[in-house]
Amino acid sequence: MIDLHTHSSRSDGTDTPEDLVAQAAAAGLTTLALTDHDTTAGWSEAAAAAQQHGIALVRGAELSTRHAGGSIHLLAYLFDPDHAELTAEMDRVVHDRLPRLQRIVERMAQDGFDLTWEDVQAQLGTGRRTPSRPNIADALIAKGYAEHRDEIFRRWLHHGSRYYVPYYSIDTVAAIRLVRAAGGVPVLAHPFASRRQRAVAEESLPELVEAGLVGIEAEHRDQNDEERALARRLAREHDLVVTGSSDFHGDGKINRLAENTTAPEALQRIEATASGITPVLR
């Protein structure tokens, strides 16, 4: 079984890269992709753990991008982590998250939430590089406002919320081109998920394909049957790879490892497309 979208504590997951890999092996996965948000900080730890547990590792990241006014997450696989321009863009996103989170906390505190920046910092833990909204959600959970991150996001931290604060994101077309220039393989993450906020308009897809898009994540918890069917149809029309993933974040979300998976032939095509310096580790 192949799961191509997971997160560790190096971004907004709750498990270290080593623990994430151990759980993946226990869940029966043969291949795992580590796709932390805008960072490769967990790659070396995950690689060592994958060797120990005897599963294959696909090194990747989930990039924060923006297109036509909407937020689009782009999964990038097997790219050169030393590609200067791509690394600079990821670093810029990471560095913009801190003041953004502080503004969200300030807004919520002004409305009477028992929440301080110190509360959020207490949730970051050691080894985290990319602070994000889930850390605010964890602080609110610790205060008793809800039991799961999903509830916090649904009520207060979603894109249409009065507390939402935008942050720097590279244009999606430019991001796709950068990933390809770095030898990587770009795949749209949950692009039609109405449970979040539908990220991609169908008419925008040809422009993304022309820029070098390789695949679409169809099988994802947040996409219903109609949205999954749409992703598969568009993949056929544009000759794109279809992937399936858990988007696992550990205890922070209800998503479970291997609840959606990717076909071996899809991974083979991703590997064949990649020309970066980081092949799948087996």
Quick check: is 167 in a domain? no
What 8-state DSSP symbol labels residue 185?
A: E
Give me the CATH number covering residue 151: 1.10.150.650
Quick check: is 135 in a domain? yes
Distance of CA 165 to the CA centre of its chain: 19
Instruction: Report how far apart, in Å, the C-alpha atoms of 251 and of each of 69, 102, 107, 138 are.
Output: 31, 24, 26, 10
Quick check: is 102 in a domain? yes
Tokens of 110: 């002004």
Q: State the pLDDT at residue 126.
A: 58
pLDDT tens column, 28-40: 999 999 999 999 9
Q: Quick one: 176 and 235 in the same domain?
A: yes
pLDDT tens column, 213-259: 999 999 999 999 999 999 999 999 999 999 999 999 998 788 999 99
Q: Quick one: 179 and 76 in the same domain?
A: yes
Residue 111: Cβ-neighbour burial (10 angstroms; 0-12, 13-18, 19+)? exposed
Cα 219 from Cα 32, distance rounded (Å): 16
Cα 54 from Cα 31, distance rounded (Å): 9
CA angle 194, 8, 71 (to 5 degrees): 30
Closest C-alpha among 84, 65, 11, 4 to residue 41: 11
Length of the chain: 282
Residue 199 has pLDDT above 80, yes or no: no
Q: State the pLDDT at residue 59.
A: 98
Among the residue ranges 46-50, 108-112, 139-143, 159-163, the one predicted with the least confidence is 159-163
Tokens of 57: 């590792």
Cα 269 from Cα 263, distance rounded (Å): 10
Rg, C-alpha atoms of the chain:
18
- pLDDT bracket for residue 125 (50, 70, 90): low
Q: Quick one: 183 and 74 in the same domain?
A: yes
Element (H, E) at 215: strand 215-219
pTM: 0.89
Q: Quick one: 42 and 106 in the same domain?
A: no
Q: Quick one: 74 and 12 in the same domain?
A: yes
Share of the chain above pLDDT 70, in %: 96
Tokens of 275: 């020309």
Number of domains in the chain: 2
Q: State the pLDDT at residue 170.
A: 95
Q: Quick one: 139 and 177 in the same domain?
A: no
Could you list the beta-strand ranges (E) of 68-138: 70-77
Yes or no: say if 194 and 224 are a contact pair by the CB < 8 Å rule.
Answer: yes
* Domain hosting residue 71, numbered range: 2-81+172-273
Give me the CATH number covering residue 222: 3.20.20.140
Closest C-alpha among 150, 141, 189 to residue 38: 189
Q: Quick one: 102 and 139 in the same domain?
A: yes
